Chains A and B, each alone.
Chain A
Amino acid sequence: MIETMLTIALVLFSATIAIAVIRIILGPSMPDRVIALDMIGVNLIATIAVVSIMLNTKAFLEVILILGILSFIGTIAFSKFIERGVIVERKRDR
């Protein structure tokens, strides 16, 4: 019973990631693609949690934290690049 529910949830998350990839390909503007990429990262976190239950191990729980941090930093870097054109700004008036 529990195994079946976990498998269904895994299939649903995979469908989510596949449809978000369609939005990345279609997306008319850059922020569309970045939002879809952020959603893929967030759903990958959930997928890894389900996989770590199905494999009955606790080794993947660190991956959740690291993927969350990487996805957040990636989205912030993309938004700064779209807004300003650079990621790391230098101070000019020193």
Chain B
Amino acid sequence: MSVNEIGEFIGALLILTGGIASVISVFGLIRLPDVYTRSHAATKSSTLAVLLTLSGTFLYFWFSEQFISVRVLLGIVFVFLTAPVAGHLIIRAAYRSKVKLADISVEDALYEVLHKEENVEEDETGR
């Protein structure tokens, strides 16, 4: 096997690993009890799956056509920056719009803070 074939094989192996990680994360999305635990499966592990796949694509194009794709690198950086931010924002919106926690949850650390904040927010919006 030449160097190029080994590089292509490593790229394909990374892509296969990404596919397996993606299926594992979607099992988390369908099995976990409430939206706050589901967001862990949906943002963290699927970000890992996509990063593995895009890295495999980058390696494959590098070794098969000697083409260093800046677009794929930009895509990796962009997904890595934005997926956790999007997950945080949507979970913040879910908590603010009072989506219930699962019944087996032990503690809601923000409950006191949010209910003290409600009166202050009403004052601020009424200005």
**A and B assemble together:** yes
Q: How many A-B residue pairs have CB under 8 A?
A: 162
In the bound complex, what is the Cα–Cα distance between A19 and B89 (angstroms)?
A: 23
A contacts with B: majority SS: helix
User: What total of chain A residues lie within 8 Å of the partner, measured CB to CB?
Assistant: 50
Residues of B within 8 A of A79 (CB): 86, 89-90, 92-93
- Is residue B114 contacting chain A, with contact meaning CB distance below 8 A? no
* Nearest opposing residue in chain A for B60, CB measure: A53
User: What total of chain B residues lie within 8 Å of the partner, measured CB to CB?
Assistant: 55
Residues of B participating in the A interface, judged by any CB pair closer than 8 Å: 8-9, 12-13, 15-16, 18-20, 22-23, 25-27, 29-30, 35, 38-39, 42-43, 46-47, 49-50, 53-54, 56-57, 60-61, 65, 67, 69, 71-72, 74-75, 78-79, 82-83, 85-87, 89-94, 96-97, 99, 127
Residues of A participating in the B interface, judged by any CB pair closer than 8 Å: 1-2, 5-6, 8-13, 15-16, 19-20, 22-23, 29-32, 34-36, 38-39, 42-43, 45-46, 49-50, 52-53, 58, 61-62, 64-65, 68-69, 71-72, 75-76, 78-80, 82-83, 93
